[in-house]
Amino acid sequence: MTKPNTGAFRALLLAMTSSAAIAACATAPAETAPVDVAVPPAEMVPEASSLARAGVVPQQAGDDYYVSAKSAVQSRTADDFVPRAKNVILFVGDGMGVSTITAGRIYAGQQKGLDGESYRLAMESLPYSAFSKTYSHDAQVADSASTATAMMSGIKTLSRTLGLRSGIAYGNCASAGGQSTDSIFEIAENAGLATGIVSTARITHATPAATYAESADRNWEDDNQVGGTDCKDIARQLVDWNAGDGFEVVLGGGRGAFFPASMIDPETGEAAGRRVDEADLTEVWTAKSDDHVYITDQAGFEAIDFASSARVLGLFEPSHMQYELDRAEDPAGEPSLAELTSAAITRLSQDDDGYVLLVEAGRIDHAHHGVNAARALGDTAALDEAVQAALDMTDAEDTLIIVTADHSHTLTIAGYPVRGNPILGKVAYGPGGVARADDGKPYTTLGYANGETGCPPGEDDCAREDLTSVDTTDKDFHQQALVFQGSETHAGEDVPVYASGPGAELFRGTIEQNEIFHVMGRASGLVTYED
């Protein structure tokens, strides 16, 4: 099929965007983020044919949460809707709530020397959007395991559990009977599609693990953590995954879960892992076929021909991958998230039947837990670069792209800073100097509702630190917090969903998080919704 010529439309859109910005504010941006992802009006897009896929009914189809979400998506589906998403890419910014996106937008623009406030991220230029409610079956403010399960399997479940329905008892694998689910990745593999997962977190961590694992405890990443039960640990579930012919590409951190302590990690010179079964699970992977390969660093990554039939397990760190701001200081050490995303799309595109891909920026969450906004925003910007890479490599006629978060964090943006003030800086009302709180001390635009920088218990005379001579834009600065907490917590507000491609129009209004699965399943034709 010939692609429509969208050049004139994009030029018009650029002109309209620029005019609106100038009219709205005297400080117009020097340039904006790419708008190549904008879609032309419906009458300019040639009609795509429906996919010839036989959708399945997953085993969780009778779950009340599944039924409710199915009905909600059905109510937004046009009568003439047909599945047209040959490929699906789901981007998850772990912990990337509204305040993180806003701050990340300003940060990314300012890093480019542009007007940060009016800058637009690639994800923000996707034509459809919604808000997603993130509560779990048992928690008002959820964790990443239950929220990932919602997106991958279309149900809500208990926090701290993976891939299982809400009848599970946390930490009790004997209670898993009858609680299994089929994730969108298992369904895709069994339908003959290619699949892949990319994450800057451990590949056995909550979000990526929800694509392939079922666990009564998200912490059972290796057999040492399972604690002597007969439950299969998450790393073992990955290499033993029997859906279709298995993942084509798995790229992230967390090789420690794949090795015993008796082995030495080549990068650190320390114990490679802590498995008690003494298994080297990377050998289990490479023994599957001559195409199965294992890599650990940038050199290994660059040596792979991703336009081949290689099936790549890349584990670039013993635990999580580096934050982007640290990785950028040693770019020879490990690939960026954009590079990993591009490699994964290249590999998965070798399959003519289509693919499903997860890309997670897992360390946004970790930086927030440490009240370290600089690294959280650095990783948000890195995710946006990965989104742009995907948009550049795919066709909006056949690829559904979704960008969302699993939950939010307690990051706040406040204090009346002047337009153009550094987003990581102290609040300044203008050229006249830094603003001061009622205690006479300066404060930053970004702060947290709780975290390790709050006043610890027992310190009745605890006073807020004077930031007058502190460089708050340094990547190692930790923002001040209101309430002391050893680790800053998640937040419970709704998070954005941005989407483009076939089926993206089903995202609108405020949705339940588990509806994301149903949009992916319906748009791709992988799940049947006929009564």
Q: Is 342 a catalytic residue?
A: no
Spatial neighbors of 136 by CB under 8 A, at least 6 apart, are 142, 143, 146, 147, 150, 156, 157, 158, 159
Say if 17 falls within a structural domain. no
Identify residue 206 by its one-letter amino acid code: A
SS3 89: strand
- Residue 292 included in any domain: yes
Range of the domain at 354: 64-410+489-524
pLDDT at residue number 98 = 98
278 conformational bin, left if phi > 0, alpha if psi -120 to 50, beta if neither: left
Domain count, the chain: 1
Q: What is the pLDDT of residue 227?
A: 77
514, part of any domain: yes
d(CA 266, CA 244): 33
Strand locations in 296-387, DSSP E? 311-315, 355-361
**14 assigned to some structural domain:** no
The answer to whether residue 484 is domain-embedded is: no
| pLDDT of the residue at 40 | 41
Whether residue 434 lies inside any domain: the answer is no
Residue 457, in any domain of the structure: no
Tell me the one-letter amino acid at 385.
Answer: E
From the list 132, 144, 146, 408, the catalytic residue is 144
**Residue 423 within a domain:** no
pLDDT of residue 5: 40
- SS3 call for 201: strand
pLDDT attached to residue 6:
38
Buried b (16+ CB within 10 A) or exposed e, 138-176: ebebbbbbbbbbbbbbbbbbbbbbbbbbbebeebebeeb
Q: What pLDDT score was predicted for residue 431? A: 74
Q: Tell me the Cα Rg of the chain.
A: 23
Q: What is the mean pLDDT of each run of 10 residues along the chain (531 residues)?
A: 37 36 38 44 45 93 98 97 97 98 98 98 98 98 98 98 97 94 98 98 98 97 87 97 97 98 93 95 98 97 98 98 95 92 98 98 98 98 98 98 98 97 95 90 98 89 94 98 97 98 98 98 95 65
User: Residue 109 sits in a domain of what CATH number?
Assistant: 3.40.720.10
